[in-house]
A = this chain, B = another copy of it.
């Protein structure tokens, strides 16, 4: 996907999206991977900032496909794993080469990030990744409270009745 398409998906331009774009490109290059149409690539992101939208667009690791895993560590790190080659790569954004005078200027910072040499922005390390489980499909069962369908693994037993989580919480 071109950056323009990613911008359209995200909805606006910002330095964070540019960061995710460069991190994702670096990871895909290092893995020599193509966009994941199913679950060939798995991405573990250690933040939920703007850049993850570029990660979704570029890698095909999307929230809806189950190959985007979120570790809420607050770090500018993506780890990508290829189920095809079994290789893993960790990309850390450090931004050490960003001129300090750009700090107050979001547009100039985003522009710099999009065009700077990779080593001014990030590091890439080969890592061993334990293969993440694939997304599972589960049967649906009606909640004994509201009657709505619920994935069977999310039903809660409340005094012998199988309830969805919202119904179970209303019983408390």
Contact = CB atoms under 8 A, between A and B. Distances in A.
Nearest to A137: B49
A168 to B, nearest CB: 10
Number of copies: 2
A59 to B, nearest CB: 10
A82 interface: no
Interface residues of A, number: 54
Interface in A13-31: 16-17, 20
B50 A65 contact: yes
A91 interface: no
A100 B56 CA distance: 34
Interface of A: 1, 8-12, 16-17, 20, 35-38, 47-57, 60, 62-66, 68, 70-77, 92, 94, 138, 140, 148-155, 164-166
13 contacts: A9-B56, A20-B64, A48-B63, A48-B64, A49-B64, A50-B64, A52-B63, A52-B64, A53-B64, A53-B65, A56-B56, A74-B150, A74-B164
